[in-house]
Chain A
Amino acid sequence: MEKFIKHTGLVVPLDRVNVDTDQIIPKQFLKRIERTGFGIFAFYDWRYLEDGVPNPDFILNNKKYVGSSILIAGPNFGSGSSREHAPWALSEYGFKVIISNSFADIFRNNCMQNGLITIELSNDKIDLLMSNAIKIDNYKLTVDLENQQIYDQFGFESIFDFDEFRKESILKGLDDIGLTLKFEEDIKRYEINDAKIS
């Protein structure tokens, strides 16, 4: 997994609620057998018009937000399908952090597995950051995972919750399976006992 320690990046506001994973990466792109090649299709139906031309009204196509690496969106981000292609697409697009009022469970898990940081903030903080990203040119945020802090250069500062175990893994870029296999003895014991019972 790619490490994440601290990141400063341009913020793009996606002012939509319930952004589901079908939206993040539509199904016609799920046929690939690789983990890569999804970034160009992220938000496809919103990003492109019917003839494949970029939709000028979609926020990611706005010149102001080219090169953004922090996405801020409305509540229940990542709901629906469990497709991990969604975080793969977002990462490959260039996002390192997603900020929302709330995330769907499976999506959040999938992000953790890929070192894509999900940050939940209260409604008023989301509103503030959303409007900053709209009003202020080149609006940037810094995310410090180690200290679980997020701040800008205009005085905004907040701490955020993050699973301790996941944080360690992401800071060090550890492999989840490797960590679990340290418990090989426990797994074996479980399997032996289980076989005895049934």
Chain B
Amino acid sequence: MDENLTMFEKIWRKHIVSEPTNQPSILYIDLHLVHEVTSPQAFESLRLNKREVRRPDLTIATVDHNITTDETRTQIIKDKIARKQVETIRENCKENNIELFDVWDNEQGIVHVIGPEQGYTQPGMTIVCGDSHTSTHGAFGALAFGIGTSEVEHVLATQTLRQRKPKTMKVDFKGTLSKGVTAKDMILKLIGQIGTAGGTGYVIEYSGEAVQNLSMEGRMTICNMSIEGGARAGMIAPDKITFDWMKGRNKVPKGNDWDKSVKEWKQLETDNKAKFDSYIDLDCDNLEPYVSWGTNPSQVLPISGVIPSPDDFKEILDAQSCQNALVYMGLNTGSKITDIKLDRVFIGSCTNARITDLRSAASIVEGKKVNNNVRAQVMPGSTLTKLQAEKEGIDKIFKSAGFEWRESGCSMCLGMNPDILSPRERCASTSNRNFEGRQGKDGRTHLVSPEMAAAAAIEGHFVDVRDWK
């Protein structure tokens, strides 16, 4: 075949069930991840319409969004409405033969952490979940995106989705990262550049030297935040780093099947002459650690930056948005990012709570103490991650520095459980959204990497981790 195709196009074509004229294509879904918050109405409606789950074998479920992060959760979830939601997913999974990773299972965790961790997530797959950060799984060269509850129901009933073909964008991260600069900083810089709607309508493929040199965890961080730039999906071609990371995991093929699969997966990468609808280049050689200052993930600055003024923006809407953000965040134009003092530090979420994230953060806090004015917490991305970290003694490092070491779950990333910010509390967070009220009404969120969050916990304000000791 002498046609030149992007990785997206290859996966898309392989999954076409039908292309009815004037209708969106019907796309087959290889893996459907389900969680307690966006699924109950889908199951309910399925029941009302007397329909069944078509492929329970391609569906897995977990509880992550609303659960508490203390140990009592295996006995009782105190919040009655949250408990009802958890009980509902238990019943739905049981009734429909869907595997559920529950609060007492080691495999429990944030849905976008456990998929890859257990090897469910594989290159070339189509993966969906009723959660916008499903884009995470694209780090393995899969086409993965978030859907709403009606679409969850559609997938449960038909194992397919109706989709118009998106456009493609290639983002090339050139150069090498300096020490202390991470995948988080790459993606924050990109979103700062293209804006929160810059990727709307696109699937982004990330490439370039800086991406190739990233660990799988780093690649997941980048793909995870694609949605913050408006793109439903982000993807990275699978390579040796991908295969090494996957090999031996629970659900990946074994023996000869593994070799066969790897061979196939290697064919996925975008052909040399394939064309994208849009291109962006970004230089990483001089990239600094990034911090968000505003109330959406495009309002970011390098650590050396100062808080902007609405007058700095050409577009009136951006100026307005800046003005609103300054008021909400309680920040003054002209003050330095490094002068921002913190009340809370949250290391967690599907963006940055995997084992390498925890290792990096731990190496920063080792032998130091959390600042007196700061309450700092770690919520590992999954129970297995937590256990692994404990095996390595990472929990002890955090605890003796004064961090709380808690159970896994989304927790303060979205604050559906009791872990929330109080009004006007200011938090350095390794999560992905700094929207108004995201971590608690009137709470103030600054998005950063785990390294930056860790150093900020010690100092009580932001510091440049590159030259911090």
Contacts and interface: CB of A to CB of B under 8 A. Distances in A.
Interface of A: 16-18, 20, 22-23, 26-28, 30-35, 45, 50, 74-76, 79-85, 87, 102, 104-106, 109-110, 113-114, 163-165, 175-177, 180-181, 183, 186-187, 190-191, 194
A31, A74, A114, most chain B CB atoms within 10 A: A31
Given A18-B321, A106-B232, A183 B18 contact: yes
Interface string B439-465: 001100000000000000000000000
B132 A106 contact: yes
Given A20-B296, A45-B436, A105-B232, A32 B51 contact: no
Contacts of B166: 105
Top-9 shortest CB links A-B: A113-B150, A110-B148, A33-B40, A84-B148, A84-B149, A82-B132, A82-B146, A31-B81, A76-B197
A27 B131 CA distance: 13
B28 A190 contact: yes
B406 interface: no
B414 A27 contact: yes
B192 interface: no
13 contacts: A17-B318, A22-B414, A22-B436, A30-B37, A34-B40, A35-B45, A74-B317, A80-B132, A82-B38, A106-B232, A163-B24, A183-B20, A183-B160
A79, A105, A106, most chain B CB atoms within 10 A: A105
A23 B437 CA distance: 8
Interface string B126-165: 0000111000000000000011111101100111101010
B122 to A, nearest CB: 11
A176 B146 CA distance: 18
Nearest to A103: B200
Interface stretch (B82-90, B210-218, B266-274, B389-397): B82-90
A22 B438 contact: yes
B416 A31 contact: yes
Interface of B: 17-18, 20, 22-24, 26, 28, 37-38, 40-41, 44-45, 49, 51, 65-66, 79, 81-82, 84-85, 88, 130-132, 146-151, 153-154, 157-160, 162, 164, 166, 196-197, 200-201, 227, 230, 232, 296, 317-318, 320-321, 324, 414-416, 423, 433, 435-438, 441-442
Contacts of B154: 176-177, 180
Nearest to A180: B158
Given A31-B79, A45-B436, A102-B197, A109 B84 contact: no
A193 to B, nearest CB: 10
Contact of B196 (A18, A165, A176, A181): A18
B157 A181 contact: yes
A79 B197 contact: yes
Nearest to B19: A186
Given A84-B149, A181-B157, A76 B196 contact: yes
B66 A186 contact: no
Contacts of A16: 324
Given A17-B321, A23-B437, A180-B162, 12 more contacts: A17-B320, A26-B437, A27-B438, A33-B44, A35-B44, A80-B132, A80-B435, A87-B148, A110-B149, A175-B49, A177-B49, A177-B157
B223 to A, nearest CB: 16
A135 B153 CA distance: 43
B82 A31 contact: yes
B197 A23 contact: no
B66 A164 contact: no
Contacts of A22: 414, 433, 435-438
B442 to A, nearest CB: 8
Given A34-B41, A84-B150, A104-B230, A186 B18 contact: yes
Given A180-B160, A183-B26, A32 B317 contact: no
Contact of B317 (A17, A82, A180): A17
Nearest to B158: A180
B416 A165 contact: no
A26 B164 CA distance: 29
Contacts of A163: 24, 164
B17 A186 contact: yes
Given A23-B437, A80-B433, A106-B147, A165 B22 contact: yes
B152 to A, nearest CB: 8
Given A18-B321, A187-B28, A31 B85 contact: yes
A186 B28 CA distance: 10
Contacts of B146: 82, 106
B158 A187 contact: yes
B37 to A, nearest CB: 5
B159 A187 contact: yes
Contacts of B22: 164-165
A82 B130 contact: yes
A187 B17 CA distance: 6
A187 B37 contact: no
A81 B320 CA distance: 23
